[in-house]
Structure 1
Amino acid sequence: MSEAGNGGGIRADWATKDFYKELGVAKTASADEIKKAYRKLARANHPDAVKDAPDAAQKHEKFKKVAEAYDVLGDPEKRKKYDQARELFGSGRGFPAGGGGFPGGINVEDLFGDRPGGAGGFGDLFGDFIGFGGGGRRQQPRPRRGADLETTATVGLIDALEGVTVSLRLASDAACATCAGTGGKPGTSPHRCPTCDGTGFVVASVGGAFSMNETCPGCGGRQLVYDEACPTCHGSGRGSATRTIQAKVPAGVRDGQRIRLRGKGAPGERGGPAGDLYVTVRVTPDRVFGRKGDHLTIDVPVSFAEAALGAAVKVPTLGGPPVTLKIPPGTPNGRTFRVRGKGAPKPGGGHGDLLATVEVQVPATLSEDARKALEAYAAATADAPLRAGLFSNAEQ
């Protein structure tokens, strides 16, 4: 949204203007209703659309007023402060036009100045108002939150299931170590930026009645400049820092899951809080176990005799004693058995199941006795029509 040349704050004279009436909406109008009303009036009064109309000058002035009204009412934060200001100073009283005092000798600076423990929070409420008595209160440099960082942590499946603490080495943007982020040569004193007069921004016109704020190119938004720049950062106030942190990967994390670690990102500026660190977890496959949601999977090799005759086979579990898997006679290759409660930890407590899949092994070599036994088995089952179904459809 564009700014009406006010540095992002709210001018004191706005409290005397009825922006709702200017847009033709009620004070209870929704954000969508305000936007629709603005667009309709802006189209009807835009200078390009009415330049040949006899009342072009009046429509152009209307367009400016509509734009100013939407600049405030279209911004939820500005609208809130505007409504508070109208409630306090509406009813025709308004703000003083010339001096800094109110009727009765009340001074504006006494009422709204920054004082510790100011009653009613007026200093916070009107900190964005400028133009009291033709002057203004220059804002102090504000703390800035540090940037969010991203990194990747690679863990094994067992660590992902049980949870693990990993070391992460991070490189991030930080305040210059030489000048502590000021951008000036150590030992030199700063002075107000002449480009922005210490506000930290400049107003750039975008055509017509619209303008917007841009970070001052002279001071980078820091409001102060030094005659001699820091020899390390060349006046930028920024550098790089490398650090190692310990990050806890929670139990049950999945491959590709993104974990947010609050306050572990880049350091803030001017006392601002640090950003957050986002860690994408990569889980490497395990030699024994696999994962399927909350369940663990395992492939269990069995011999042909065990599958045909039945057997009791021991299989490992995660972090516990092995369990005995009872394989009934005639078990086919690929059949999966479920062992309840022996799977992966669930986020809400408990465990999933262990899914054990039978893999019948075919021996690559046979002893003489084994060969004779299998030949005898083959002869005994020669009449079994194993492949009869392959040709039933082909012959029709």
Structure 2
Amino acid sequence: MAKKDYYEILGIDKSASPEQIKKAYRKKAVEFHPDKNPGDKAAEEKFKEAAEAYEVLSDADKKARYDQFGHQAFDGGGGFHGGGGMNMDDIFSQFGDIFGSAFGGGGFGGFGGGAGQRRMKGSNLRIKVKLTLEEVANGVEKKVKVKRKIQAKGVSYKTCPTCNGAGQVMKVTNTILGRMQTASTCHTCGGTGQIIDGKPNHADAQGMVMEDETVSIKIPAGVADGMQLKVSGKGNDAPGSNSIPGDLIVAIEEVEHESLKREGENLHLDLYISVAEAALGTSKDITTVGGKARIKLEEGIQSGKILRLKGKGLPSINSYGTGDLLVHINVWTPKNLTKEQRQFFEKALTEDNFTPKPEKTEKSFFEKVKDMFS
């Protein structure tokens, strides 16, 4: 089922400012908050949709990629998400402060724990994955080894004695206006409501150990150099029995092809032919991302001619079709001639058939460049 447009979910347009985006999200979050709609699955889904939309549109980089590629910029299957993989704990952990005051500044039903207590989320990990042009064209599944922090076996936690598991400490101050009560994050547990009770000797102070894990990453066809994808839950763990792991951020690095040059979904190929091949016509084998292809060049073909092979480029990551392969014809002029070859070309200087006579239908270089980018 197709995902809803993020702007439509929040009821805003693409020109909305960051403050307008935040305001629209808060309105939706308050409207569909689980505490206001207990047991309403439809409201819960809308609550998650709003959080997903806000996670993307509130980030300038993610918003730019979404505007260009749509949902495919973040969702290639196999666990990639721009926010769609978020559960209630993710939402309250990341965005609880935006709408928390509407519910007394405390917990969020059964999702956020006790008053002020928050679930810790582990830090994200970042890796680069190199892809060939052929892998970009077809999509690929990569297996990578990731070194991540996980909770050590045998580590245990207990309720923080400072805040009694609340994650916050209350302070009462006498002022000229009367007694004022303020809440702040517990300095002992960092707001988690828990501290380490016991841990094995090989674990660090937070009860963590390093472990190598092989992660399978499904990369969709049509990704571009510099694009980032996310594998949920494959980052570092966080301390605490109710914590959630961070994410694995995958940065795409495109390996330069030997002969094909990329321009969006289109590909470009420089094809060099001899003067004789240009005059007589010929057939040539060329490289495409799908393997070798044979093309026919008519006799008298001119240098600078561009042949467009429809559908021989790269697929659109947003499923808008496939680009083309543009073959640029370059007639190679020999640099060293034999005596007989020189005599032939000297005689050709006076031949009327060798005098350049461009037809009116023949496009200029600048017109060809304009056509290429249109």
User: Same fold judged by TM-score > 0.5?
Assistant: yes
Aligned twin of 1:117: none
Q: Which amino acid aligns with 2:126?
A: E
Question: What is the SS of the residue equivalent to 1:369?
Answer: helix
Q: Which residue of 2 aligns with 1:236?
A: 206
Are 2:194 and 1:223 aligned? yes
Q: What CA deviation, in whole Å up to 9, does each residue of 1:326-366 have, x standing for no partner?
A: 345151x3321111122222342642211000122122433
- CA positional deviation for 1:284: 0.8
Q: What is the identity, as a one-letter code, of the residue corresponding to 1:335? A: K
**Does the 8 Å CA contact 2:226/2:251 hold for their aligned counterparts?**
yes
Q: The residue matched to 1:274 in structure 2 has which SS?
A: coil
Cα distance in 2, alignment partners of residues 159 and 385 from structure 1: 44
Aligned residue in 1 for 2:305: 335
CA distance in 2, matches of 1:126, 1:164: 38
Amino acid of the structure 1 residue aligned with 2:343: K
The aligned counterpart of 2:169 is: 202
Q: Distance in 2 between matches of 1:337 and 1:289?
A: 14
Identity value in percent: 26
1:158 aligns with 2:181: no
What residue identity is the alignment partner of 1:164? V
Question: Is residue 2:251 matched to residue 1:280?
Answer: yes
Q: Which amino acid aligns with 2:139?
A: G
Matched AA of 1:251: A
Q: CA deviation at 1:302?
A: 0.8
- The alpha carbon displacement at 1:383 in A equals 11
Specify the alignment match of 2:220 in structure 1. 250
Equivalent-residue separation in structure 2 for 1:308 and 1:369 (angstroms): 19
SS in 1 for 2:345: helix
Name the CA shift for 1:203/1:371 in 2 (closer, same or farther; >3 Å). Answer: farther
Counting matched residue pairs gives 253
2:143 is matched with: 167
| Cα distance change on mapping 1:293 and 1:327 into 2, 3 Å | farther
Q: Which amino acid aligns with 2:221?
A: A
> Quick check: 2:306–2:328 contact (8 Å CA) kept in 1?
yes
Aligned equivalents of 2:293, 2:188: Cα separation in 1: 69
Q: Quickly say closer, same or farther: Cα 1:303–1:178, change in 2 above 3 A.
A: same
Whole-Å Cα distance in 2 between the matches of residues 372 and 328 of structure 1?
23
Instruction: Check conservation: 1:315, 1:325, Cα contact below 8 A.
Output: no
Tell me which structure has the larger Cα radius of gyration: 1
Q: Any conservation in 2 of the 1:297–1:354 contact (CA below 8 Å)?
A: yes
TM-score by length of 1: 0.53
- What TM-score results when the alignment is normalised by the length of structure 2? 0.55
C-alpha RMSD of matched pairs (Å) = 4.0
Does the CA contact (< 8 Å) of 1:200 and 1:222 recur in 2? yes
Say which of 68, 71, 77 aligns to 2:100. Answer: 77
Kept in 2: contact 1:263–1:277 (CA 8 A): yes
Q: How does 1:1-396 map to 2 (within 5 A)?
A: 76-80=99-103, 124=110, 143-175=119-151, 177=152, 179-180=154-155, 182=157, 193-203=160-170, 209=180, 211-217=182-188, 221-224=192-195, 226=197, 231-233=201-203, 235-267=205-237, 269-319=240-290, 322-331=293-302, 333-347=303-317, 348=319, 350-380=321-351
Q: Distance in 2 between matches of 1:126 and 1:381?
A: 87
CA distance in structure 1 between the aligned counterparts of 2:353 and 2:113, rounded to whole angstroms? 96
Q: 1:366 to 1:153 in 2, by over 3 A?
A: same
Alpha-carbon distance between aligned partners in 1 of 2:196 and 2:286, rounded to the nearest angstrom? 71
Q: Distance in 1 between matches of 2:335 and 2:111?
A: 84
Distance apart, 1:309 and its partner CA:
4.6
1:199-249 CA-to-partner distances (Å, cap 9, x unmatched) read 4443579997574412333687453454x7754445422333332212122
- 2:349 is paired with a residue of what secondary structure? helix
